[in-house]
Structure 1
């Protein structure tokens, strides 16, 4: 099995560089709608900085080793058998929230990002299948968006944090 280096979150709260397996199509919860991507850029989120500056005893870490990083721009390398919206060679930007119950009040209102029944560590793709602080990751098709040619990959890495900021402003203003 092919290996790569990744910035890993350990269950005890530590972060460290480690050799990890390159993810494979069909061997993750998103199959057959899984997409293997090569990471071009992964931004450092404010939550990453907070995590690095927080004592380990306070950190809420995944209960297993996992590559972190969620502000991702990548290029599609391979697609699962059920994928219809992206193809190899497409540049994409990733959404962060991927897992939600679909039944709670927030989900029924289309506010999957605040699912009442999913803990943040369980709702994020980078904590499920690994994130963007490695060369490759696998992501669900429905959380990838093709980038137009007029947006550079470097510009696109700001899309996820910008969307989060806009969502916060709209939510706080009650719109």
Structure 2
């Protein structure tokens, strides 16, 4: 639990211009809200992208914004109607609140809410601060044996859970995951937890593949600078999936990976796009059609994903601790962003300003 009332915040003013600023401690606005002392926050690729470019698609930084959204913390105050959590509870924070009234929300797809208020998506402030307010039902109590550091990784794990659920993984299947960054690695782990017996991690960086092999992948593959169809044929032969993979997940967003994926997936298989890259790409549409591939997008997380992510960690079926490369003090946040951009480590955590 935070030891002071400091609400020191890490603020992005414009690309590559960040400052530390003491902001007023937030107040509970709704009887269903809670106040959270932020203990740990992970750095996501989207945070780094805002830091670098000041925008992601139509989300454009126009005013100073607090960064961060992968957080765990401790409840320090609750609204009068809160029932699911209490002061002192350690929680993983789901950092987006939907409107709860639109058609996607009412259909159970609140991640598609057009009025989603998502932390560190302009103009909404993020969680790299001393305190943060949230609706109680977007706070997930951590079991006693799950640390707050692990709690900060529930957010990227929930992304992987959603992607893998979209892929409809069944026991005994073969799955190929393009990209061995944090989400790709977690997709491998979740696919294995869902019963996949062959889990292939694909990346161009040897160190990432080495980690993937020690983490959750049964096989690894390094693509070459050759046509996508050639890479796909070699991959399937090397890992013993000559008929094609039951499901292929792209967690990279890289055009060559997407192209290769369509050749890798089996006839009637499932392809899921989880990584975001260029707005427009070319891919083998004839291959997609002739194999009747089911192609899906995946965006953030939906109903039940965060809950399942906590349960997978609590049950020991997914080990997120192994992904934590380093935990730094709050005052070192800017350097941590630079290190992530430089590709150092897998997942960097920033301790909250009151976490001494």
Query: Which one scores higher on RCO, CA 8 angstroms, separation ≥ 6?
Result: 1
Q: How does 1:9-48 map to 2 (within 5 A)?
A: 9-10=12-13, 15-26=18-29, 31-48=30-47
1:64-115 deviation digits (Å, cap 9, x = unpaired): 44422111100000111111111110000011221235222x2232110112
Quote the Cα distance in structure 1 between the aligned partners of 2:56 and 2:94: 29
Which position in structure 2 is the counterpart of 1:137? 132
Report the CA distance shift for 1:15/1:89 in structure 2 as closer, same or farther (over 3 A).
Answer: same
Q: Could you tell me which residue of structure 2 aligns to residue 147 of structure 1?
A: 142
- Would you say the 8 A contact 1:3–1:19 is kept in 2? yes
Corresponding residue for residue 6 of structure 1: 9
Task: Give the structure-1-normalised TM-score.
Answer: 0.79
Specify whether residues 54 and 62 from structure 1 end up closer, same or farther in structure 2 by C-alpha distance, changes over 3 A only. closer
Distance 1:55 1:39, change over 3 A: closer
* Cα distance, 1:45–1:9 mapped onto 2, change above 3 Å: same
Q: CA 1:155 to 1:56, structure 2 compared with 1: closer, same or farther past 3 Å?
A: closer
Structure 1 pair 60–41 and aligned structure 2 pair: CA distance change class (3 A): same
Of stretches 32-41 and 165-174 in structure 1, the one that deviates more from structure 2 is: 165-174
Matches within 5 A, 1:1-175: 4-10=7-13, 15-26=18-29, 31-54=30-53, 60-61=59-60, 64-104=63-103, 106-115=104-113, 117-118=114-115, 122-125=116-119, 130-172=125-167, 173=270
Residues 24 and 79 of structure 1, relative CA distance in 2, 3 Å threshold:
same
Contact 1:5 1:135 in 2 (8 A): yes
5+ residue gaps, structure 1, are: none
Larger Rg: 2
SS of 1:21 mapped into structure 2: coil
Q: 1:59 to 1:7 in 2, by over 3 A?
A: farther
Q: How far apart, in 2, do the equivalents of 1:113 and 1:51 lie?
A: 20
Between structures 1 and 2, the one with greater helix share = 2
Shift of residue 46, structure 1, vs aligned partner: 1.3
1:123 Cα deviation from its structure 2 partner: 2.1
Note closer, same or farther for the CA distance 1:54–1:65 as it changes in structure 2 (3 Å cut). Answer: closer
Structure 1 residue 170 displacement after superposition: 2.6
Q: Work out the CA distance in 1 between the residues paired with 2:98 and 2:55.
A: 26
Deviations 1:89-144 (A, max 9, x none): 0000011221235222x2232110112x32xxx52155677432111111111100
In 2, Cα distance between equivalents of 1:125 and 1:142? 16
**How many angstroms apart in 2 are the aligned matches of 1:46 and 1:59?**
17
Q: How many residues get paired?
A: 164
